[in-house]
Each structure stands twice: as structure tokens, then as C-alpha cells.
Amino acid sequence: MSSLPYPSHADQRRTLLASALIGIGCMAAVDEIIFHQLLAWHHFVDRDTAFALASDGVLHAIELVLLVVGFFMMIELHGAGRQAPGYRGPGFLLGAGGFQVFDGVVDHKILRLHQVRYVDDLWLYDIAWIGFGVIVLAIGWLLLRRARRGHAASQR
């Protein structure tokens, strides 16, 4: 199956970036679908200051755009036969985990836009939320190291 030339360094970086964008977008979609719509732990509006509402709007726009841009970058790489095998998985996990940690630390704790759930013992939810993100990030990082050493389980 490896009749295609070995992907260049630039192709590896683009594959990693495209899949990271998709990972961020998918994690944001999980947040919207599971925690907003299905569990209703999160609300359409949590804090009604103009700043909180505007930062919600900006984050939402960026998430939507990253997902679509990531997909189109991937389509382009695929069409040109330049997708680097072994870099899609780590890219996706690094994007997804990175978003989860960012959401848990910056949105929830620093900006205090909203919380994971409005209950006592919130810290348990915070640890689960951020801890999950860190684990996903760590797996992504390990897979990336393997891919860099050329040990990737081929995805072609």
C-alpha cells in the first residue's frame, strides 16, 4: 500500500493541524450536544453579563469555523494524496484534549463563564473534566512521539 512517496515534513504538520482543528470542533460539538442538549447541565445562558454573552458568541463562532476549516484542509490533503499516516490520530486527540483542558481551566475557572454542573462538590466534576482532557492530551502526545519515530500503525 505504500506506493505513495513518504510524506514530507510540511505534509505531516498540515495533517497534524487539520486533524487537531477537527478534534477541537468535535469536542466543542460533544459539549454542545451532550452537556447542553441531552444532560442539560449547561444552559443556553449561564451568566447574563454582556462580556460573558459576547465571549460565548466568539468561542462558538471560532469552534464552528475550526471544524469546517479542518475538514476542508483534510479533503485537500486527501485529494492530493499528501495525508501523513500516523498523524491524524494524535492530531485529533491533541486538539480534543487541548480544547477540553482549555475549556475546563480558562472558561470555567479563570473567566468563570459557566461551570460543569451546578451542584455541591463541583471540584469533583472539575477534576473529572480537566483530568479527562489531560489523559486525552497525553495519549495524543504519546501517539505523536511514535509517529515521529516512524512507528505509526499505518492509517493508509
Closest to another protein by CB, 68 vs 153, is 68
Residues 25-64 close enough to bind another protein by CB under 8 A: 44-45, 48, 50, 53-54, 56-58, 60-62, 64
Angle at 100 between CA 98 and CA 106, to 5 degrees: 90
Closest to another protein by CB, 108 vs 133, is 108
CB of 118 to another protein, least distance (A): 16
Among 4, 30, 34, 75, binds another protein (CB under 8 A): 75
- Using CB under 8 A, count the residues that bind another protein: 22
Query: For binding to another protein (CB under 8 A), which residues are involved?
Result: 44-45, 48, 50, 53-54, 56-58, 60-62, 64-65, 68-69, 71-72, 75-76, 79-80
